[in-house]
């Protein structure tokens, strides 16, 4: 059985995206012909929240569950993986090629801090669903200021 790997990180905000990757993504957005490195794609994702949870739904059809990796901290989620190309017939040629293959990586910053101890991920019908409990913020407490005399 393949598992989705969940890794807990202390600071995803500083994982940085290199200059080469940024330039590559800019040119790839115009045309995949201009790619400087290995092809990458970005799966479509939704983030929504309830009073208690933040839920991420990622469209990763064609990606094996074992090829997905998650990293979470209280502020962000990093989802990465790889979609392998489907084997083609030897004597065939493409008339249309729109499906993107290769590696992907998305870092999503969350609308509220989460409890990293209560994260779950499920893979169903080509969708990855990640459920995260929000951190419960305590009540506001007034502090009485004393004189320094």
Domain 5-12+40-85+99-134 has CATH 2.60.40.790: yes
pTM above 0.75, yes or no: no
Contact 79, 108 (CB under 8 A): yes
Rounded to whole angstroms, the Cα distance separating 60 from 83 reads 8
Q: Are the beta carbons of 26 and 18 closer than 8 angstroms?
A: no
pLDDT cut 90: percent of the chain above it? 51
pLDDT at 20 over 60: no
Query: What is the spatial distance between Cα 69 and Cα 9, in angstroms, rounded to a whole number?
Result: 12
Domain limits, the chain: 5-12+40-85+99-134
pLDDT of the residue at 24: 55
DSSP 93: -
In this structure, the chain runs to a length of 149
User: Collapsing DSSP states into helix, strand and coil, what is residue 118?
Assistant: strand
Mean pLDDT, residues 87-98: 81
pLDDT at residue 131 in the model:
97
């Amino acid at each position: 059985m393949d598992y989705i790997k969940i890794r807990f990180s202390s600071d995803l905000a500083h994982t940085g995206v290199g200059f080469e990757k940024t330039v590559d993504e800019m040119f790839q957005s115009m045309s995949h012909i201009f790619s400087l490195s290995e092809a990458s794609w970005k799966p479509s994702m939704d983030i929504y929240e309830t009073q208690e949870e933040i839920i991420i739904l990622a469209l990763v059809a064609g990606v094996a569950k074992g090829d997905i990796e998650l990293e979470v901290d209280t502020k962000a989620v990093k989802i990465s993986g790889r979609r392998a190309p489907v084997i083609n017939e030897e004597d065939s040629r493409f008339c249309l090629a729109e499906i993107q293959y290769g590696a992907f990586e998305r870092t999503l910053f969350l609308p509220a801090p989460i409890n990293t101890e209560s994260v779950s991920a499920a893979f169903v019908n080509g969708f990855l669903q990640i459920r995260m409990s929000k951190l419960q913020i305590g009540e506001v407490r007034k502090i009485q200021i004393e004189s320094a005399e």
